[in-house]
Structure 1
Amino acid sequence: MQKTIAVDMDGVLADVEAHALNLYYKQSGILLTKKDIEGRKEAEMLPDGLFYKLVREKGFFREVPVMPGAIEAIKKLSENFTIYIVSAAMEFPQSLPEKREWLAEYFPDISWRNIIFCGDKSVIKTDYMIDDHAKNLDFCQGKAIMFAAFHNQSQNQHLKFGNWDAVTAFFENE
């Protein structure tokens, strides 16, 4: 039986940071880079709580770009592991159908049986979990892998990788 990997969407497969920064630039004319927001919490990512306003807008989750290297990495990992996409899609109601459409476009080889939309990831029991939030990884019963993001720069309690090439290299040795 193949080992299993739970892979988060936002901030891991989907480049939410880039999307939010791009929308902010379009609305305000102010160009912020990923470096500018490094170390901030999500609520502080954009001025005036704008990040949480953006994620509530229709189309936000459907239009997020794919994280560089994610498509190729998931294809490669799928050769030796069973992949589950696990996303907390319940907080923002429109995110559920938009995330499903997004996955169908960018990851069409992932079966609907391997997509888990939930509110609490502590119920997920896989051999590995890749996520950008410690709150999800802290309960991981397998090996927790943190995907580096602007909001987790100071967190080092889990194995951390900054891109999909590094993640793929790690799994080549597993």
Structure 2
Amino acid sequence: MKPRIAIDMDDVLADTVGKFIDIYRRDFDTTVLPTFFRENSFHEILEKDVYQRLADSVHQPGFFTDIAVMEGAQEVTRALSEKYDLYVTSAAMEFRNSLSEKYDWLDEHFPHIHWKNRVFCGDKSIIRADVMIDDMPYNLVSFQGKGLLFDAPHNRDNTLFERVNSWEQVGRILL
């Protein structure tokens, strides 16, 4: 039996921050540089009402359908699948539309991860694996295995977990 890796979707496999940047630039300010939001968390720099309108966009049908794939994620997960059993673990229950959209997105971009290895849940504390890669520290707190915190603007202050900045770095650690 191969060791298991639980991999989050949003801001780990899928560039969800990039999707929010695109929406912000389309709806609020076309002149802001995308790098500005890569270096700062949305909730810290936007006015409360603008942040709320942006955050509410996840409830719109189609939000999860065209999110870009994180650089290197496809190649590294293919390589990891030779050595590990991979499970995509997404807290997809929070956003009703995300279930089918995320399923279809995985079919399109990660066909090498079988549909049986997709866990859409609300609370990741139920996940049992040897390694979990996630951008949300609270998902790693109750995790029993090795937690890798995938770098994102919203977790930059967290120092409790080993941080990974790219899929290339994930590959160096786990392959």
Equivalent of residue 97 in structure 1, options 95, 100, 115: 100
CA contact (8 A) 2:3 2:85 kept: yes
Gaps (5+ residues) in structure 1? none
Contact 1:39 1:154 (C-alpha < 8 Å) held by counterparts: no
Q: 1:112 aligns with which of 110, 115, 130?
A: 115
Cα distance in 2 for residues equivalent to 1:106 and 1:134: 25
- Residue 32 of structure 1, CA deviation: 4.1
CA contact (8 A) 1:38 1:153 kept: no
Question: In 1, Cα distance between the equivalents of 2:169 and 2:12?
Answer: 13
User: Counterpart in 2 of 1:31?
Assistant: 32
Q: Counterparts of 2:3 and 2:26 in 1: how far apart (Å)?
A: 43
* Residues 87, 116 of structure 1: 8 Å contact kept: yes
TM-score by length of 1: 0.92
Match of 1:23, SS state, is: helix
Residue aligned with 2:94, SS: coil
Normalising by the residue count of structure 2, what TM-score does the alignment of the two structures yield? 0.92
Q: How many Å apart are 1:121 and its aligned residue?
A: 0.2
What's the offset of the Cα at 1:34?
3.9
Which amino acid in 2 is paired with 1:123?
Answer: I
Q: CA separation of 1:76/1:15 partners in 2, compared to 1, >3 Å: closer, same or farther?
A: same
Alignment map for 1:17-166 (pairs within 5 Å):
17-28=17-28, 29-36=30-37, 38-40=39-41, 43-44=43-44, 46-47=46-47, 48=50, 49-166=52-169
Distance 2:172 2:134 in 1: 17
Aligned-pair Cα RMSD in Å: 1.5
- Alpha carbons of structure 1 residues 150 and 34: separation in structure 2 relative to 1, 3 Å: farther
Name the SS for the 1:144 alignment partner.
strand
How far does residue 89 in structure 1 lie from its aligned partner after superposition? 0.4
**Unaligned 5+ runs, structure 2:** none
Q: In 1, Cα distance between the equivalents of 2:134 and 2:7?
A: 6
TM-fit CA distance, 1:138: 0.6
Report percent identity of matched pairs: 40
Q: How many pairs does the alignment contain?
A: 171
TM-superposed deviation, 1:16: 0.4
CA shift for structure 1 position 39: 4.4
Conserved 8 A contact 1:6-1:128:
yes
SS at 1:110 equivalent: coil
Q: C-alpha separation between the residues in 2 aligned to 1:102 and 1:18? A: 16
Cα distance in 1 for residues equivalent to 2:126 and 2:160: 20
Alignment-mate amino acid for residue 93 of structure 2: M
Matching residue of 2:8: 8
Higher helix share: 2
